[in-house]
Homo-oligomer: A and B are copies of this chain.
Amino acid sequence: MTSTTAPRTPPTTSTAASGISSGAPTVADVGPAVVLGANQYGKAEVRLVRVTRDSARHEIEDLTVTTQLRGEALADSYLVGDNAKVVATDTQKNTVYAFARDGVGAPEDFLTRLADHFTGEFDWITGGRFGALAHSWGRIVTDASGETSEGGVGHDHAFVRGGTETRTALVVVDGDRRWVVAGLEDLTVLKSTGSEFHGFPRDRYTTLVETDDRILATSVTARWRYTDETVEAARTPGAVDFDALYERVRAVLLATFADVHSLALQQTLYAMGRRAIEEVDAVAEVRFSMPNKHHFLVDLAPFGLDNPGEVFYAADRPYGLIDGAVIRAGVAEAPAAWDAVTPFV
C-alpha cells in the first residue's frame, strides 16, 4: 500500500481535540512519537443495478462499486477526528448512484468518471482507488428459436445470472498519474489430461509420486494492467473499448490453459500471461494467483478394481498456491497500482 500521504506526526498537546476520553495520556506525555502512514477511506460494495430501457429490449448492468479517497488533508480525521475534509462515505455512495443515471458502460470508464469527479470536485482529494466487480447476466431464452420481437436472441427483459467468474476493474489515481487494472476471479478450469508433474527434488519429507498424467484444475484469479498508452488514450471517450479488451484477454487465458501441455501449473500460468501480452497490445503486465486444486486418484485396489485415471477425489484443503507476474519487457513498474489491487492489510 502506497500513498501520497507523507507520514505525519499528530499534535502532541490538545487532549480534548484528540477525542481521547479524559485521563488518556497525550503523545507528548507518554513516549514514543507515532506517525500516521498510508491511509484511505471510502464506501465499499455499493450494489448498483442499472437498467437501460430506451427500447422494449432492455439492457442490464450490475456492479458492486468501491471508492476510496486519499489526500494529505485527510490526516486530521485520523489524528484529531476533524472531518472538515472528509467527503462522507454516504456522499460517495450517492455519487455512484447519481452518476449511473447518465449510464454506466465499461466499468473502467465508469470508475474513471468517478475518479475524475472526486479529484476534481475536492481539491484536497489527490487520489484514490476506484474498483468494481461486474456481475454478468444473459437473456433467458424462452423458446427453441430464441427469436424475439426485436429479432435478437433471448427475452427482451428477462435475464439469468451468468457464469461463476466475476470481472473486476480498478482505476488508481495518484495526482496526475493513473492506472487501470482489469481482471477476473473464480474462473474455474480443469484439464482431464495433458498435465504432468515430475522431476522435482526429493528430501526426507518427500513422499509424492511422480506422474505423467494427472488432472490439472485451478480457479484463476488474474489481473492485468493496461499500458500507459492505453490509459492515456482512454481519456478520449470511446477511444478504448475496455469490454472488448476484457473479452479478448479472457478468451486467450482460457485457450492457453486448454492448449498448453502442462509440466507444472507454474508453466501454465506463465504461458497464459505471455500469450495475453503477445496477443493484446494494450496489456502491460498480468498477475496471477492460481490454486492447484488437487484431484487425487482414488486407490480402488482394496476393492479389486483398477483405476486408470477415471475416479478422483476432489480435495478442498490444502491446495497448492502458485503466484506469478508476467511483464511486457520495457514497461515501467507500477507498484502503486498493484498495491491498490489487494486489500489494504
Contacts and interface: CB of A to CB of B under 8 A. Distances in A.
A233 interface: no
A34 B207 contact: no
Interface in A182-206: 183, 187-194, 197-206
Contact of A20 (B52, B259, B277, B307): B259
A74 B1 CA distance: 26
A50 interface: yes
A39 interface: yes
A310 B49 CA distance: 8
Interface stretch (A84-92, A105-113, A171-179, A235-243): A84-92
A345 interface: yes
A267 B78 contact: yes
A72 to B, nearest CB: 13
A20 B261 contact: yes
Given A207-B94, A321-B68, A330-B33, A21 B311 contact: no
Contacts of A80: 263, 267
A9 interface: yes
A164 interface: yes
Nearest to A100: B311
Contacts of A267: 18-19, 77-81
A246 interface: no
Interface string A57-99: 0101010101010000010011111111111111101110110
Contact of A85 (B143, B183, B201, B298): B201
